Amino acid sequence: MRRLLVLAVVAILASGVAFAAKEDELNNTPDYSNDSQAPPSTAATPQITEDFEAGVPPAGWSTVDDDGSGLVWTACIATGQSNDTNGSGDCAIASSDDFGSASYDTSLITESYNFCASVNSGMDVSLNFQNYAGYDWFYIDCSADGGANWVNYLAWNEDHGTWGNPPGEDVSLDISDMDGESSVICRFRYYDPVVHFNWWVMVDDFVLMSDGAITTPGVPDCGGGGVPATTGIGLMLLVLALGGSSAYFLRRK
């Protein structure tokens, strides 16, 4: 009985220390020295939008738990937390504060997009990221090969937006190196490889911008490979019209 009482006291004290440390961290001035961010987009026309009002993940999107801890992206309303971005209604959130002490590496991944006709492509998104003592990271990446390789456009390791309330921070990113790609996915990644009790990141009002079309779903290629079906039929008719010897000649060539 005494041992159980001691363990309970230790747990309460440890919890108190954690909360005191988090409270102290709120009073620190954010340091943006570890940030990296792509330049803003110059595109003018929205092509794809997602406001997360229909749930998280949206249709065609996915969430992954690469750490295996169980912490994943969900809807803000499901955690009982307000939308602290500059958006309204629901939002997507990955919350260490709601989950508790754990390491984690969780990504919210978009569906696949066709950038074949895209020009000056960009991404606009509204965010709120509350970092704890420099432990956790938030990334925005895109991939043109199904996630085998990722191009990083934003890496945050400090607070962005107000704690516990709006405003958040609106971000515009130039992702024009994805122009001309047939199948593009992007991800929002929340990452801390060490067991910590951190805060959260929120995402809302995701928009893909371009001066050319961006469509969904992605396609195998942008039309550069293979012989079009109409061309193949035309060649077959030509062979039949020319006769056997010509057909042999065409086959040999």
Which CATH number do you get for residue 191? 2.60.120.200
Do 2 and 74 belong together in one domain?
no
Residue 27 has pLDDT above 90, yes or no: no
Could you read off the pLDDT of 32-89 as tens digits, one per residue? 567 999 999 999 999 999 999 999 999 999 999 999 999 999 999 999 999 999 999 9
Contact 174, 42 (CB under 8 A): yes
Do 2 and 38 belong together in one domain?
no
Number of domains in the chain: 2
Do 14 and 80 belong together in one domain?
no
Type and span of the H or E element at 23: helix 2-26
Whole-prediction pTM value?
0.79
User: Would 14 be classed as within a structural domain?
Assistant: yes
State how far the Cα of 134 lies from the Cα of 25, in Å rounded to an integer: 10
Do 21 and 80 belong together in one domain?
no
Could you read off the pLDDT of 133-163 as tens digits, one per residue? 999 999 999 999 999 999 999 999 999 999 9
Residue 11 has pLDDT above 60, yes or no: no
Question: Domain range spanning residue 105?
Answer: 33-209
110 Cβ neighbours under 8 A, 6+ residues apart: 50, 60, 61, 185, 186, 187, 206
User: Would 240 be classed as within a structural domain?
Assistant: no
Do 75 and 127 belong together in one domain?
yes
The rounded mean pLDDT for the chain is 83
Question: Of 79, 96, 107, which is closest to residue 195 (Cα–Cα)?
Answer: 96
Do 21 and 37 belong together in one domain?
no
Do 62 and 88 belong together in one domain?
yes
Instruction: Please tell me the predicted confidence (pLDDT) of residue 249.
Output: 28
User: Would 143 be classed as within a structural domain?
Assistant: yes
State how far the Cα of 91 lies from the Cα of 85, in Å rounded to an integer: 8
